[in-house]
Chains A and B, each alone.
Chain A
Amino acid sequence: MISGESTTAGEPVAVAGAVVARPRVRGRFSPVDWVRRGGLSAVAFALPMLVIFTAFSWYPITRLVVLSLQSTNLVDPPSWVGLQNFRDVWSDPLFMTAVKNTAYFALLALLFGYPIPLIAAVLISESRRFRGGYSALAYLPVVIPPVVGVMLWRYVFYEPSSVGLFNTVLGWFHMGPYGWLQSTGTAMPALVVESTWANAGTTVIIYLAALMSVDRDLYDAASVDGASLWRKVWHVTVPQIRGVLLVTFMLQIIGTAQVFLEPYLFTSGGPANATLTLLLLVYQYAFGNSIGVGFGQAAALSLMVAVFLAIFALVFLRLTRSWSTT
């Protein structure tokens, strides 16, 4: 029997070696049976989810695909343009700039943003007395509304004049002042530092939860063997939480590939396109300079990003399947 095929109750099944083997008959669908077996309840339970997903996920995704093949001025009926929007995006010199910038942001975020929460979580988990307080402190930036966080960093920390916080500190050593967000060299790292500060809290909490699930006996055994903190982390903690580490790695890549808030609020993609990311380019196509006529290109680029990330996630999960604990 093919897995998943249903049979009617009591139907004789061909048995190897039986003297008379009757051909297997697929049972007719009976609405009464379906209802009796709880089909209606299943639909009732699934309906809210189906409606919500259809309205807010599947329909917009379908519309996005349709829009990426159309040209519209939002007034007249849209016209079909085939793959022209994709060709436009591909031939736009800003596309490669945005790809490089996004990759650069993702790389810097990986270098700064990936290990810092792990280190913080390990240190917090080691503290028995003040663990709750440290966790709250680590999570505090996540509670601050993102726009407020960006404004705080922009006008307090990154203020380019000598009254900016960073420039004041550097001024004590007769350095600066520096225009952190106004130099092509420092703008992107400045965005990554704020982004790490703003988002690390959530990852710290996830790591803490994972660390709490590690069997304490393993640490005790390692201590008995004379292992240092570093050796305990490397040989006990990391292998025990590698499943969580792999998932957060993948989520971080997906998150950073879609970075928008920081470049939009800090620099609008400047200076000289140094912080123009893929999603900011989507925004510029749709709402920036070509008022209401760049939706096709915006949809095309959104779709390209989504497909790339889906392929990345699939390949990543496939490659790391053997390392994962789940």
Chain B
Amino acid sequence: MKSSFRAMTLLVVAAALFLVVGAASLANAGSQAKVTINVAALRPGSSAEAQKQFDDNVALFEKQHPNIAVKPVEYAWNGATFAAQLAAGRLPTVFTVPFTDARTLGEHRQVADITAGVKKWAYYKKFQKTIIAEATTSKGRIIGVPYAAYAQALHYNRQLFRQAGLDPNKPPTTWAQLRKYAKQISQRTGAAGYAQMGLNDNTAGWIATTVTYTLGGRMEQGRGANATATLNSRFTVQALNLLKQMRWTDKSMGSTFDYTWPTINQAFAAGKIGMFINGSDIYTFLVQAANLDPKIYGIAPLPLAKQKNAGVMGGGSIAVVRPDTKGAKLNAALQWIDFFYMEKLVKKAAALRDARILVANTQPVGVPAFPIFNKVQYDRANSWIKSYINVPIKQMNPFLKGIFKQNLYPEPAASTQSVYHALDPVVQAVFADKNANVSALLAQANDVAQKAIREGK
């Protein structure tokens, strides 16, 4: 009787153990079920080499994370298509947005809140405060991961400099000098000495804001809906008067005044422009999509006025996650962001792997950027890939030597695109009318921007 009781007890314990272990393994299998994420890949029309470089990264990631399947989706940030994709639920799980738009999307809860996941990363605390602020809402929630930053810079055509009798190794360091050089290039070569984006798609306002920063001005004070618009400051008036002088007095800006981001890059690559302002990282676009001859390329820091707040405006890109992503999918999305965008900035092995893939696919390595973390980390990451750098680094020296002596400031924080949009018609009026009343136009633009800020648009 006793022995049969023992046997029964043993059987029950064994069965219970079996059940517990079985259930645990089943649960484990459940957590390792394959998750598929769609990730933003290259912009449509990218070269086959660039595509392969991306696919190589995907293959490596899937090898390292066997429970995650990655589907690349052609992607280029566009506000208009974003709204349609969001409404239709067709956004990729992970996609990228410029600094300009990230906070607005975050304030409207149109991208996922990833605060908890990002704060777990070892390098989270190493982000530069001004950089992580670009992906932080006014309530302190993190809605994206900044992975690339640039400073606005002066791009110039070394060949046109030479033809105009200027030294291509000595780009202008003051606005007065820039104006003089532009006139000289225009007169001696027939090309536009200086050109500036002027289309009514917020780019005109963006560059006008950049120039205003270099003179010491800002477009707003404060954050969120309580910010005050300061579009009509004396610095903006000065920036637009400078433009007016180059356009109407010097006639050094050529004949096209409705350039936007891609068209000004293409015109520059085609040798039609002596100098223009754009982000420091556009070299990749210039060679990949505009057939730039690297020999003509030069880049320098923007001239800064001797003003307390004069500085260079920065920008960059932020990886974000679509707003309805949760659980295992959200984890997989963050793992992809960590792998594809961030590891190469903090881990030597990843930096080397990325550089090797880029070089193997004839993509530029060493394009001038701005540190996401601190300068020491930035220099260290660059030293790892030194032997792979294939951009004309000597021609980039004026920028690389000068940029870290300048103060980098973020874009206007509240209703960024609306502020630029309010400035667009003022820039266009300066281009279209030599008697344009800059102060009156800026006063109107300030009212428009203030209304947008108040309404959170």
Which residues from chain A sit less than 8 Å from chain B, CB to CB? 73-76, 88, 93-94, 160-162, 177, 179, 181-184, 267-274, 276, 283-284, 286-295
Q: Which residues of B contact A286 (CB under 8 A)?
A: 83
> Shortest distance in angstroms between B325's beta carbon and chain A's nearest beta carbon?
12
Chain A: minimal CB distance from B97 (Å): 9
Chain A: which residue is nearest B204 at the CB level?
A: A270
- By a CB distance below 8 angstroms, the chain A residues around B455 are 88
Give the residue among B86, B200, B424 with the most A Cβ atoms within 10 A: B200
Query: By the criterion CB–CB under 8 Å, are A270 and B86 in contact?
Result: no
Q: How far is the CA of A73 from the CA of B455 in the complex (A)?
A: 13
Q: Give the distance in Å from the alpha carbon of A267 to the alpha carbon of B199 in the complex.
A: 7
Q: Are B109 and A73 in contact (CB under 8 A)?
A: yes
Q: Which residue of B lies closest to A285 (CB)?
A: B457
Whether B256 pairs with A270 at a CB distance below 8 angstroms is no
Question: Would A272 and B452 count as touching, CB distance under 8 A?
Answer: no
- Pick the residue among A161, A269, A292 that contacts B108 (CB under 8 A): A292
Contact sample, A vs B, 27 pairs, CB 8 Å cutoff? A73-B110, A74-B86, A74-B110, A93-B444, A94-B448, A160-B255, A160-B256, A182-B257, A184-B429, A184-B433, A269-B200, A271-B428, A271-B431, A271-B432, A272-B426, A273-B200, A284-B421, A287-B80, A288-B417, A288-B421, A289-B420, A289-B452, A289-B457, A290-B415, A291-B79, A291-B83, A292-B110
Q: How far is the CA of A295 from the CA of B80 in the complex (A)?
A: 12
For B425, list chain A residues within 8 Å (CB).
270-273
Known A-B contacts A75-B323, A160-B256, A271-B431; the reply to A292 vs B86 at CB < 8 A is yes
Within 8 A of A (CB), among B400-457: 415, 417-418, 420-421, 424-426, 428-429, 431-433, 441, 444, 447-448, 452, 455-457
What distance in Å separates the Cβ of A78 from its nearest Cβ neighbour in chain B?
A: 11
* B109 CB contacts on chain A under 8 angstroms: 73, 75-76
Docked pose: A184 CA to B256 CA in angstroms: 14
Distance between A273 CB and nearest chain B CB, rounded to angstroms: 5
Closest to B457 in A: A290
Excluding A183-B432, A268-B201, A293-B457, 6 further A-B contacts by CB distance (< 8 Å) are A182-B258, A270-B258, A272-B425, A284-B421, A287-B79, A289-B452
Contact B258 A75 (CB under 8 A): no
How many residues belonging to B are interface residues under a CB distance threshold of 8 Å? 46
Which residues, 84 to 109 on B, are CB-close (under 8 Å) to A? 84, 86-87, 101, 104-105, 108-109
- Report yes or no: B255 in contact with A161, Cβ–Cβ below 8 A: yes
Q: CA of A179 to CA of B259 in the docked complex: distance in angstroms?
A: 13
Question: Shortest CB–CB separation between residue A154 and chain B, in angstroms?
Answer: 10
Q: Which of A75, A271, A276 is close to B86, meaning CB atoms less than 8 Å apart? A: A75
Q: How far is the CA of A268 from the CA of B104 in the complex (A)?
A: 23
Q: Taking the nearest CB of chain B, how far is it from the CB of A295, in angstroms?
A: 8
B202 within 8 A of A: yes
Question: Which secondary structure dominates chain B's binding surface?
Answer: helix
Please determine whether B202 and A289 come into contact, CB atoms closer than 8 angstroms.
Answer: yes
> Which residue in B83, B84, B199 is a CB contact (below 8 Å) of A268?
B199
The chain B residue with its CB closest to the CB of A269 is: B200
Contact of B123 with A by CB under 8 A: no
Contact B429 A290 (CB under 8 A): no
Nearest CB of B to A66, in Å: 14
The answer on a CB contact under 8 Å between A271 and B429 is yes
Query: How far does the Cβ of B343 sit from chain A's closest Cβ, in whole Å?
Result: 30
A182–B457 Cα distance when bound, in Å, is 28
For the complex, give the distance between the alpha carbons of A269 and B84 in Å.
Answer: 22
Please encode chain B, from 254 to 290, with 1 for each CB lying within 8 Å of some chain A CB and 0 for all others: 1111100000000000000000000000000000000
In the assembled complex, the Cα of A181 lies from the Cα of B255 at a distance in Å of 11
Is B82's CB within 8 Å of the partner chain A? yes
Least CB separation from B323: chain A residue: A75
Q: Are B420 and A182 in contact (CB under 8 A)?
A: no
B171–chain A nearest beta-carbon distance, Å: 26
Contacts of B429 in A (CB 8 A): 184, 271-272
Residue of A75, A88, A270, A292 touching B200 (CB-CB under 8 A): A270
Please name the residue on chain A nearest to B109 by beta carbon. Answer: A75
A292 touches B452 (CB 8 A): no
Residue of chain B at shortest CB distance from A184: B432
User: Do B82 and A291 touch across chains, with their CB atoms under 8 A apart?
Assistant: yes
Of the candidates A93, A160, A182, A273, the one having the most CB atoms from chain B within 10 angstroms of its own CB is A182
- The distance from the CB of B137 to the nearest CB of chain A, in whole angstroms, is 13
Give, as a whole number of angstroms, the nearest-CB distance from A325 to chain B.
45
Residues of B within 8 A of A267 (CB): 200, 258
Question: A74–B83 contact, CB under 8 A?
Answer: yes
The 3 A-B pairs with the shortest beta carbon distances in the complex, nearest first, are: A287-B80, A290-B457, A292-B83
Most buried by A among B256, B258, B421, B447: B258
